[in-house]
């Protein structure tokens, strides 16, 4: 028996896919045993805590185990430090947990084969090196953002270009060439985490760790991102990159005991592809001004809609968005009455359960990578509205590079992590709604084709299943 240690990031969008991947590996090779070391979220996020509590302590004949660690009490100032820094501080507890597993493994006749760490846990390679085992990485975003991050780091370290020095209002440098995309990339579409002096040092340090990995398991599909993955096949000796294993889509699409809520029953009553779904992730919230612009667009569009609406957080790093307590005070006068027969405004939404409904015809999304993969899995065309993290890259990719979404805007000023966002007008939103809900559009047809490719990729002989087996083979060969 060979043992892998998985270290996922505490965020729910990272934890779920990593656990899902661990289960897939166990199911595909009975020689594998996996211990998932769980670092608790620093803010005690309810969704993460509930998910961790739901994980069975024993499964797969004890070949998949969960090992939560305890972290020291965090000062309030720790809430605003980057995730990588918080995780790096947990090295002693991770080292202790792995040591315990090794002692235990001698009685179970297992041998430690390597670490598989989340993209935000890349510094844990230092702990793996202490145990003299290889480190692989799980990259829960896409191959395109991975490629851009690595190229930005290379340009910086070779003193060719520093994107954090960019003046995004200056048009003198308006495009960059990245090997992971087929067309010039507009600098105004670079995310805040790469261009800000505050965040870029952490992402550059992260990219340097990425290059030390023995392989990177990317939550993508070979047929979805061929250009980005080519970058990892053609890396030269001077700028060697680890092997990329495109093993996606890794999705948590089981609805489990999802209650048959009023929302889902209402969707069952609507015609196929007639409802526009608007949902913006756990950190997505809007000001009253922006909320009114969305409402005006929905009112004018005449389309059925399901709108998961949250109030913008005053400081997203300190507290999540909340529900509006009185919608009548925020929405245009009479909006709820005028649209009562064709739309619903709700708080939290069971996103996967909603996207799975045949009634959904379009998805206005913040463009987190998990949300994009879920939308493709169910064949729903998108309107990306990037709010934070790498979402501007995702929007560029699915609109301009892949043609799987319609454009709301080419450039989005601001970022929730910076505490400011430009207001998008009702006119822009209404046009995007009209485009995404078009019945037989090129975008809808391309999305349906990609849906098929994503499903086939996970089958025996499919590209993702093959990549998963190649990864297992790589782990075993490095042990000999």
CB 471 within 8 A of CB 464: no
Predicted local distance difference test score (pLDDT) of residue 90: 94
Q: Which of 189, 148, 255 is CA-nearest to residue 415?
A: 189
Predicted local distance difference test score (pLDDT) of residue 473: 97
Higher pLDDT: 218 or 168? It is: 218
- Cα 107 versus chain centre, distance: 38
Q: What is the mean pLDDT of residues 86-91?
A: 92
Which burial class, exposed, middle or buried, applies to 237 when counting CB atoms under 10 A from its CB (0-12, 13-18, 19+)?
exposed
What confidence tens digit (pLDDT) does each residue in 213-255 have?
999 999 999 999 999 999 999 766 567 899 999 999 999 887 5
Domain ranges of the chain: 2-253+460-479, 262-454
Higher pLDDT: 76 or 304? It is: 304
201: its two tokens: 């040092």
CB 187 within 8 A of CB 166: yes
Mean pLDDT of the chain: 91
What confidence tens digit (pLDDT) does each residue in 281-319 have?
988 999 999 999 999 999 999 999 999 999 999 888 778
Predicted local distance difference test score (pLDDT) of residue 222: 98
Reported confidence tier of residue 357, pLDDT bands at 50, 70, 90: very high
Predicted local distance difference test score (pLDDT) of residue 399: 98
Predicted local distance difference test score (pLDDT) of residue 50: 76
What confidence tens digit (pLDDT) does each residue in 250-289 have?
998 875 545 558 999 999 999 999 999 999 998 899 999 9
Reported confidence tier of residue 106, pLDDT bands at 50, 70, 90: low
Predicted local distance difference test score (pLDDT) of residue 102: 79
Higher pLDDT: 168 or 160? It is: 160
Check for a shared fold between 2-253+460-479 and 262-454.
yes
Reported confidence tier of residue 47, pLDDT bands at 50, 70, 90: low
Predicted local distance difference test score (pLDDT) of residue 257: 47
What CATH number matches the domain at 2-253+460-479, 3.40.50.2000, 3.30.230.10, 3.30.56.10, 3.40.309.10?
A: 3.40.50.2000
CB contact set of 73 (below 8 Å; sequence gap of 6+): none
pTM for this predicted structure: 0.94
- The region that residue 302 occupies, defined by phi over 0 for left and psi between -120 and 50 for alpha, beta otherwise, is left
Q: What is the DSSP letter of 480?
A: -
What confidence tens digit (pLDDT) does each residue in 364-393 have?
999 999 999 999 999 999 999 999 999 999
- Measured CA to CA, the distance from residue 215 to residue 122 in angstroms comes to 12
Predicted local distance difference test score (pLDDT) of residue 58: 47
Which burial class, exposed, middle or buried, applies to 35 when counting CB atoms under 10 A from its CB (0-12, 13-18, 19+)?
buried
CATH H-level, domain 262-454: superfamily: Glycogen Phosphorylase B; (3.40.50.2000)
Predicted local distance difference test score (pLDDT) of residue 45: 58
Q: What is the mean pLDDT of residues 337-361?
A: 96
- Measured CA to CA, the distance from residue 13 to residue 317 in angstroms comes to 16
Predicted local distance difference test score (pLDDT) of residue 190: 95
What confidence tens digit (pLDDT) does each residue in 12-23 have?
778 888 899 999
Containing 9, the helix (H) or strand (E) segment is none
Reported confidence tier of residue 320, pLDDT bands at 50, 70, 90: confident
Higher pLDDT: 281 or 173? It is: 281
- How far are the Cα atoms of 45, 227, 251, 340 from residue 52, in angstroms, in the given order? 11, 36, 17, 38
Higher pLDDT: 458 or 83? It is: 458
Is the pLDDT at 46 greater than 80? The verdict is no
Predicted local distance difference test score (pLDDT) of residue 15: 86
């Amino acid at each position: 028996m060979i043992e892998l240690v998985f270290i996922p990031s505490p965020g729910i969008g990272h934890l779920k896919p990593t656990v899902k991947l661990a289960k897939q590996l166990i199911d595909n090779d009975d020689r594998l045993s996996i211990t998932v070391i769980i670092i608790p979220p620093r803010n005690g996020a309810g969704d993460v805590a509930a998910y961790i509590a739901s994980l069975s302590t024993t499964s797969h004949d004890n070949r998949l185990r969960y090992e939560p660690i305890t972290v020291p009490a965090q000062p309030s100032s720790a809430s605003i430090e980057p995730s990588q820094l918080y995780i790096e501080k947990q090295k002693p507890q991770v080292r202790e947990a792995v040591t315990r597993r090794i002692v235990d493994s001698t009685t179970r006749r297992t041998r430690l084969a390597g670490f598989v760490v989340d993209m935000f846990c890349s510094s844990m390679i230092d702990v793996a090196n202490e145990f003299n085992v290889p480190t692989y990485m799980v990259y829960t975003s896409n191959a395109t953002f991975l490629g851009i991050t690595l190229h930005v780091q290379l340009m910086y370290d070779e003193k060719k270009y520093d994107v954090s020095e960019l003046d995004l209002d200056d048009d003198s440098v308006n495009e960059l060439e990245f090997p992971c995309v087929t067309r010039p990339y507009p600098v105004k579409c670079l995310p805040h985490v790469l261009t800000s002096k505050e965040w870029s040092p952490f992402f550059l340090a992260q990219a340097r760790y990425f290059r030390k990995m023995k392989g990177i398991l990317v939550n993508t599909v070979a047929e979805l991102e061929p250009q980005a993955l080519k970058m990892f096949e053609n890396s030269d000796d001077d700028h060697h990159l680890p092997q990329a294993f495109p093993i996606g889509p890794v999705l948590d699409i089981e609805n489990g005991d999802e209650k048959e809520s009023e929302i889902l029953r209402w969707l069952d009553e609507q015609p196929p592809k007639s409802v526009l779904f608007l949902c913006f992730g756990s950190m997505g919230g809007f000001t009253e001004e922006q909320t009114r612009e969305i409402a005006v667009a929905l009112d004018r569009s005449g389309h059925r809609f399901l709108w998961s609406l949250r109030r913008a957080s005053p400081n997203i790093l300190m507290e999540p968005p909340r529900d509006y307590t009185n919608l009548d005070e925020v929405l245009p006068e009479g909006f709820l009455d005028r649209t009562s027969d064709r739309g619903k405004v709700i708080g939290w939404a069971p996103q996967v359960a909603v996207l799975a409904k045949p009634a959904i015809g379009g998805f206005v999304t913040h463009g987190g990578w998990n949300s994009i993969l879920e939308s493709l899995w169910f064949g729903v065309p998108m309107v990306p509205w990037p709010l934070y993290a790498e979402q501007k890259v995702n929007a560029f990719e699915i609109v301009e590079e892949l043609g799987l979404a319609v454009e709301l805007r080419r450039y989005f000023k601001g970022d929730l992590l910076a505490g400011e966002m430009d207001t998008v007008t009702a006119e822009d939103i209404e046009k995007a709604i009209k485009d995404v809900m078009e019945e037989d559009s090129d975008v809808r047809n391309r999305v349906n084709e990609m849906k098929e490719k994503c499903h086939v990729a996970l089958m025996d002989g499919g590209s993702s299943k093959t990549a998963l087996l190649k990864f297992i083979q790589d782990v075993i060969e490095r042990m000999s």
